[in-house]
């Protein structure tokens, strides 16, 4: 799991602290022998696209450095219900304490990857590329966007400093799309200038002012086709706004370069992943 900007150790500390509180796992401490060892199998209970395995395993290692973990699948794999995602063997108390944090993380990230893959498959063969957006859980953007990549999407802007994206409010404040684009060009940020347009008549002024990519917002397929014909390949185009599984294929078939979908990170349901434990025999 390559996320150079993500502080996994800090994330694991915070998540475990949230779950353990100041007293730790009092139930396991009260009911499980301190020397007991468990074997466990983590499996999915529905078809999923896997994301977050290394991070899930890190929760167990944080509480038991000697835990043995085998992962027969990899992030990005599409697997059927019943597939074993992880096999573990280690101290029972530590594994029980880490269980919920590991599962929550895997269920959330795999949920994003699974929904994303459905959108990617829906536009297969059209030539259009699926993009995610900044509609992510606060504090989890790097993880959410990683999961979207595992599902097959490309990442759009990670942060506000990744690119210039002129939207309707910027246009309104500047008095028009051309004025907003010219002002952005004069700022000399060195970043690509993307402009959101929601009417055909905004396209030529945006291009004439120097827009380098057009975001065609909330346009039905017929209008998208007209817009694509007008742009005529001069800049990449992106369709956005209210895209769902039932409509994305028709949108992608208009010839747009990209289709952005906020709901793959904003609204993806967690998938069903479980962890089944068994007490290991103690050597006599």
- The catalytic position among 196, 213, 238, 249 is 196
CB 100 within 8 Å of CB 28: no
Q: What element of type H or E holds 270?
A: none
Would residue 217 show up in a list of annotated catalytic residues for this protein? yes
- The catalytic position among 74, 87, 100, 118 is 100
Residue reference for tokens 């992510």 = 136
- The catalytic position among 135, 157, 182, 263 is 135
CA angle 139, 141, 144 (to 5 degrees): 120
CB 110 within 8 Å of CB 104: no
Beta-bridge partners for 154: 131
Give all strands (DSSP E) within 151-192, no chain letters. Answer: 164-166
- The catalytic position among 25, 75, 217, 238 is 217
> Pairing mode, if any, of strands 193-197 and 213-217?
parallel
How far apart are alpha carbons 259 and 239 in whole angstroms? 5
Would residue 196 show up in a list of annotated catalytic residues for this protein? yes
How far apart are alpha carbons 254 and 227 in whole angstroms? 9
How far apart are alpha carbons 180 and 160 in whole angstroms? 17
By C-alpha distance, which of 126, 153, 125, 130 is closest to 253?
A: 126
How far apart are alpha carbons 260 and 124 in whole angstroms? 15
- The catalytic position among 74, 167, 225, 263 is 167
CB 183 within 8 Å of CB 161: no
Would residue 135 show up in a list of annotated catalytic residues for this protein? yes
- Active site residues per annotation: 100, 135, 167, 196, 217
């Amino acid at each position: 799991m390559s996320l150079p900007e993500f502080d996994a150790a800090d994330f694991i500390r915070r998540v475990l602290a949230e779950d353990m509180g100041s007293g730790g796992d009092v139930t396991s401490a009260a009911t499980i022998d301190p020397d007991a060892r468990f074997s466990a199998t983590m499996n999915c209970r529905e078809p999923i696209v896997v994301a977050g395995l290394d991070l899930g395993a890190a929760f167990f290692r944080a509480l038991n450095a000697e835990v043995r973990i085998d992962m027969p699948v990899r992030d990005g794999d599409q697997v059927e219900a019943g597939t074993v995602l992880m096999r573990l063997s280690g101290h029972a108390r530590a594994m029980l304490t880490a269980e919920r944090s590991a599962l929550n993380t895997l269920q959330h990230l795999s949920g994003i990857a699974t929904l994303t893959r459905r959108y990617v498959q829906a536009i297969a063969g059209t030539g259009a590329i699926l993009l995610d957006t900044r509609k992510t859980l606060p504090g989890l953007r790097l993880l959410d966007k990683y999961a979207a990549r595992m599902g097959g999407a490309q990442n759009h802007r990670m942060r506000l400093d990744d690119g210039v994206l002129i939207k309707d409010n910027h246009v309104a404040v500047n008095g028009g799309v051309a004025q907003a684009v010219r002002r952005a060009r004069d700022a000399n940020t060195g970043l690509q200038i993307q402009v959101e347009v929601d009417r055909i008549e905004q396209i030529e002024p945006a291009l004439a002012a120097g827009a380098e990519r057009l975001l065609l917002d909330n346009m039905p397929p017929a209008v998208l086709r007209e817009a694509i014909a007008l742009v005529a390949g001069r800049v990449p185009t992106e369709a956005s706004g209210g895209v769902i599984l039932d409509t994305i294929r028709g949108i992608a078939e208009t010839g747009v370069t990209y289709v952005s979908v906020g709901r793959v990170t904003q609204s993806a349901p967690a998938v069903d992943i479980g962890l089944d434990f068994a007490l290991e025999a103690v050597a006599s």
